[in-house]
Amino acid sequence: MKGAGFLMVKLVSMGLIILMMLFYPVSASSSNPERSSSSNSGENLDEKNRAYFTDLKVITHDGRELRFYSDILKDRIVAINFFYVNCPTAQLSLTTFFKLQKILGDRLGKEVWLLTISVDPGNDTPEAVKNFARMYNPQHGWLFLTGKEKDLQTINQKLGNTGRLPEGHMRLFLLGNLKSGHWMKIPDDAHEFSIESGLRSLADDQ
């Protein structure tokens, strides 16, 4: 398995600017996915993931109601960013995802999923998110997610996004391999090729 140090060297050698990149296994005992557990101690990672990330319901930009872990995260490699419809700075990371989906091509929706999660579900209604998502023409495998305010607050907190106000949300990308339990985080001004390279490294870490 490739360590975080090796990955950092590999990416830097490719001329990719990454300010912060961390691997961390997901643990049901963790307060957020940035905290590490030394081993799974024989526990079933899938059950730990479900217990940690929850199966709270979310609503996609195309109107489907799905369970957050079982229907969206389970066994997948994902890249996650955050938004709210009225955010004046969301365009940067969303434009990066727009470019990334083209780079991923047929891998999107098969090997990799992109998740854009609302931090203001009280205002980001399903209809508002549907209209907002149209600006980025998300293809199969890129989901904009909203839902009940309390449920989205819990999901955001599980991902380490604990700001009380929407404008205080994390400005970074979370990349994760749910099978291996390994994650990394990359600043939201990173180039789309940096994210794609990180996703490839996670895919190798099975």
pLDDT tens for 47-96 read 999 999 999 999 999 999 999 999 999 999 999 999 999 887 668 899 99
Residue 40 has pLDDT above 80, yes or no: no
What's the full length of the chain, in residues?
206
CATH fold, domain 4-204, is Glutaredoxin (3.40.30)
- pLDDT tens column, 191-200: 999 999 999 9
- pLDDT tens column, 128-183: 999 999 999 999 999 999 999 999 999 999 999 887 777 667 889 999 999 999 99
Place of tokens 């404008």: 167
Q: Would you kindly state where each structural domain of the chain is located, as residue ranges?
A: 4-204
Residue 204 has pLDDT above 70, yes or no: yes
Higher pLDDT, 160 or 5: 160
pLDDT of the residue at 39:
45
* Cα distance between residue 185 and residue 44, in whole Å: 24
Average pLDDT over residues 118-128: 96
- Give the closest residue to 90 by CA, choosing from 60, 128, 127, 119: 119
